[in-house]
Structure 1
């Protein structure tokens, strides 16, 4: 990537020195930012941040080299100018390699063979969380239980029980385990955990502890040593207006641009909706936004005019009877054009107007109905701390196919772990989700 960027700079300014200096300098910067660490590859957005931090450091390093060593203004200029192309090339290459690694994990290659140690119920919960992800780096080879009397429950879930806590060393040695994952249990006190970590280190095995608090992004965690005790600090979610101002500006400006580009297709869709069935082209519905404020959400109409009157008759077909949502596969109320619009998500394009008006964001939790909010628990009301979104974690993770508790978990996780990088990641994943059409009905 650095060689390509150097050749671009050479082509622009006709100087060869940058082609000799930039590649080793870039590799050194990436090493300094630990961009080649395996722990940073394939998961989260940290690997992208490290590339961007390296691109920011490159002009500073060039300036230091200019003042301390070369006094070569042309080389300083070329190295500083190379920061943009090397980052512009590096990020998509990283993205491509990341998806290649995910595909290898999906085929069962390059995954860590893990032994889970702890109580049966918590192990089942952890395995469920690990299997939610799109790519599983960790392959569970077996479990060692702190409560062996509950082994039957794990065997029914297809997990091999290989013994108790005292059998950990023998299992690691016999099965070639590369990672030991320990869950909290009353039987595992500080001394027991220390001995387990010593045993893992002696065999060259990674030793991981599962925190009690899940769905917290790594960016919010930091270790704070206090009198020799490593305390884990969990930063509060950053939901202040000033922190979200860049998101607000990006949402409205990008939505306005999309409206201009899609104005003609939206007019054609509106015309087709009117011709397909009697009634207006747009469907207006009261939804609840940030802090509980109500607004009128716009969508292209996909149902018959008497759809609300027929809802009670279809209650027994509700796919989300475990929660507050009402979704029916092959809903007879949906029109012919409406079925296509829903499957392709084109029915949601008018919500760009809601984004421009400030009622919604491009990315956020699903906009709830007022009657749904009335039944919210205190925990669930945290969804209302941010604007609802046109897309979100719920949209890119299965939409209506998800059970209610999983949709809630995703929405609350988004509220607590919001960042601009998370928003950009969701926007990139939205295109794939729309093409697949999974859960769109």
Structure 2
């Protein structure tokens, strides 16, 4: 994947801060050095690694680490040149640089994901492994709303994969664990791919584990991986709780005029209350009243049996009907743009929901889930947005939605929350699965 566009964007972010410093303070030391120093520090902190660029994996830690390095360097320089304004200008420029870097990088990622969504600029890959595992992986890759990989071939043996690479037409080989894929075969394959500049990607046994939970742990010369349990303690969630409530309060203030307009339109469109209230299951199984703008006619609950056969998830835990006749005209527009979800900010402000988390389910739907799945989903608060909402929403099959919810719980981190929040506007604009 081209790195130069990200380097150019990071340079632009530093130049923005540099010009600001120059215009405000009329000093040129920091503006002259910051762009080059910023890119070099990002490179040293591995902020240009492929997965950091594409998925934002570890990006917050790496970018903030680069900023810390520059701040320390400025402090040392200030010790020798205390009257030059170096420390003052650097500490002023760094927040601007960091903010612009995150914003520009995410803008670039949104464009890349849009290309993937339309089948452009994807990396062509061959999948190697047992038939059942290969079928599951290929299905998951194709269900993902915007995937960087396009599977162009499937191989059962290493020799088949080597032949596929020799014929050309692929940039990566994805290998799944299996009895026919030993260390010798992998070593042969890796050398064959190295000579042709083709990536080798290994799928771990636990495919839904975030990289942040894996740590290299060499034992007797073996490259073992140590799996850390997810940290869901109350202390770890304090920053998330504070951010949820502050952002929810700010969102309600900003969106108050829009909410008033929506309320008037709902009342003019059909008789009934403006808000829809429904009991949902929250943290540790405690029920709460979920608030949404009403999008259905007043007798929708009584008419559910009429459309039960149209449920796209069959007899599963979820209930969703495309082109549901119970939805009002205004309600259909609200659902298409996810505007009916805005009142859930009151639930977030009250501490019953989070901005990001698993989807809140009614008690009857939650009880349909297997016991271990239900128990793990309830370890965190339900969310206004979530992993499956930015991955295809209602178009995803039930098992994929459950998997994504569990993946979020098991791999929760501040970086994951920020990534989901950054992808939410794009998912709303694309309107994939919104009905």
Normalization by structure 2: what TM-score? 0.88
Aligned residues: 422
Partner of 1:149: none
RMSD over aligned CA atoms reads: 2.5
- 2:331 equivalent among 334, 338, 354: 338
Following TM superposition, by how much is the alpha carbon of 1:411 offset from its aligned partner in structure 2, in angstroms? 1.0
Q: Confirm whether residue 390 of structure 1 aligns to residue 378 of structure 2.
A: no
Partner of 2:182: 189
- 1:244 equivalent among 237, 243, 250: 237
Following TM superposition, by how much is the alpha carbon of 1:314 offset from its aligned partner in structure 2, in angstroms? 1.7
Partner of 1:207: 200
Following TM superposition, by how much is the alpha carbon of 1:176 offset from its aligned partner in structure 2, in angstroms? 5.8
In 2 relative to 1, CA 339–166 (structure 1 residues): closer, same or farther, beyond 3 Å? closer
Say if 1:112 and 1:139, in contact at 8 Å, map to a contact too: yes
Q: Confirm whether residue 270 of structure 1 aligns to residue 263 of structure 2.
A: yes
Q: Counterparts of 1:325 and 1:107 in 2: how far apart (Å)?
A: 28
In 2 relative to 1, CA 179–361 (structure 1 residues): closer, same or farther, beyond 3 Å? same
Following TM superposition, by how much is the alpha carbon of 1:30 offset from its aligned partner in structure 2, in angstroms? 1.9
Following TM superposition, by how much is the alpha carbon of 1:390 offset from its aligned partner in structure 2, in angstroms? 1.6
In 2 relative to 1, CA 71–282 (structure 1 residues): closer, same or farther, beyond 3 Å? closer
Q: Counterparts of 2:432 and 2:117 in 1: how far apart (Å)?
A: 19
Partner of 2:415: 421
Following TM superposition, by how much is the alpha carbon of 1:412 offset from its aligned partner in structure 2, in angstroms? 1.0
Q: Counterparts of 1:296 and 1:99 in 2: how far apart (Å)?
A: 34
State the SS of the aligned residue for 1:197: helix
Alignment of 1:295-334 (within 5 A): 295-321=288-314, 323-334=316-327
- 1:96 equivalent among 92, 104, 107: 107
Q: Counterparts of 1:341 and 1:205 in 2: how far apart (Å)?
A: 46
Q: Confirm whether residue 3 of structure 1 aligns to residue 15 of structure 2.
A: yes
Q: Confirm whether residue 375 of structure 1 aligns to residue 368 of structure 2.
A: yes
In 2 relative to 1, CA 177–271 (structure 1 residues): closer, same or farther, beyond 3 Å? closer
In 2 relative to 1, CA 433–40 (structure 1 residues): closer, same or farther, beyond 3 Å? closer
Listed as ranges, the gaps of 5+ residues in structure 1 are 147-164
The structure with higher relative contact order (CA 8 Å, sep 6+) is: 2
Following TM superposition, by how much is the alpha carbon of 1:48 offset from its aligned partner in structure 2, in angstroms? 4.8
Q: Confirm whether residue 136 of structure 1 aligns to residue 147 of structure 2.
A: yes
Q: Confirm whether residue 22 of structure 1 aligns to residue 16 of structure 2.
A: no
Q: Counterparts of 2:295 and 2:113 in 1: how far apart (Å)?
A: 36
Following TM superposition, by how much is the alpha carbon of 1:184 offset from its aligned partner in structure 2, in angstroms? 1.1
Q: Indicate the larger mover: 374-383 or 74-83.
A: 74-83
Following TM superposition, by how much is the alpha carbon of 1:265 offset from its aligned partner in structure 2, in angstroms? 3.4
Q: Counterparts of 1:94 and 1:205 in 2: how far apart (Å)?
A: 26
Listed as ranges, the gaps of 5+ residues in structure 2 are 1-11
Partner of 2:4: none
How far does the alpha carbon of each residue in 1:240-292 deviate from its partner, in whole angstroms, 9 at most, with x for none?
11111111111112212222333343344334333433332222211110110
Partner of 1:153: none
Q: Counterparts of 1:407 and 1:92 in 2: how far apart (Å)?
A: 28
How far does the alpha carbon of each residue in 1:347-403 deviate from its partner, in whole angstroms, 9 at most, with x for none?
222222211111111211111111112222123211111111122223223322222
State the SS of the aligned residue for 1:334: coil
